[in-house]
Amino acid sequence: MGSQSDWPTMRFCADTLAELGVSFEARIVSAHRTPERMFDFARTARDAGFKVIVAGAGGAAHLPGMVASMTILPVFGVPVETKALGGEDSLLSIVQMPGGIPVGTLAIGKAGAINAALLAASVLALSDEGLAARLADWRRARTQAVAERPVDEES
Ligand code: RP5
């Protein structure tokens, strides 16, 4: 993620990966404040054994696209909600990549962070039957948790 301030959003991604038993590292890598850290990370990620990168950033959210420009690993971008523009700025900064440099762009905020984890797990599950089973169980549990009828909220 681009900043400590992204962590309240990106921890939903981390928590979902943990629930699925997917090992991960959560790092702060800013395209603007720590560009050399970003270059080093993106250029070495594949050799270091990473399989998928989830990049969350807000505002002028250049991190996912810049990382994608330096690696052939799948990169999923999570637009973080911003105070000034509600995260539409983040979304538009991430989604409109030029042809040839793909970033799989998720929804703004919490839903995007969770779905980035699920997509990353889906990619990894292509070559990991144990993870595929855990992912199927996770999805089944969410389906079973949906009530048939609504209940009144407690006041
Ligand atoms: C982006 O700028 C980060 O991804 C963050 O969403 C946004 C604001 O960062 P802070 O000023 O809160 O550190 O690079």
What are the residue boundaries of the structural domains of the chain, listed by start? 4-142
Contacts with 69 (C-beta within 8 Å, 6 or more apart), sequence order: 42, 101
Cα-to-centroid distance, 149 and ligand 1 (Å): 40
Question: How high is the mean pLDDT of the chain?
Answer: 97
* Under 8 Å between Cβ of 22 and 50: no
Percent residues over pLDDT 90 in the chain: 98
pLDDT tens profile 27-85: 999 999 999 999 999 999 999 999 999 999 999 999 999 999 999 999 999 999 999 99
pLDDT of residue 154: 79
Q: What does the chain come to in residues?
A: 155
What secondary structure does DSSP assign to 60-77, as a single string? Answer: S--HHHHHHTT--S-EEE
Model confidence, pTM: 0.96
Mutate to test the pocket of ligand 1, among 1, 6, 38 (most ligand atoms within 8 A of CB): 6
Domain topology for 4-142: Rossmann fold (3.40.50)
Q: What is the mean pLDDT of residues 115-123?
A: 98
pLDDT on residue 155: 65
What interface predicted TM-score (ipTM) does this complex get? 0.96
Cα of 7 to ligand 1 centre, how many Å? Answer: 10
Res 55: pLDDT: 98
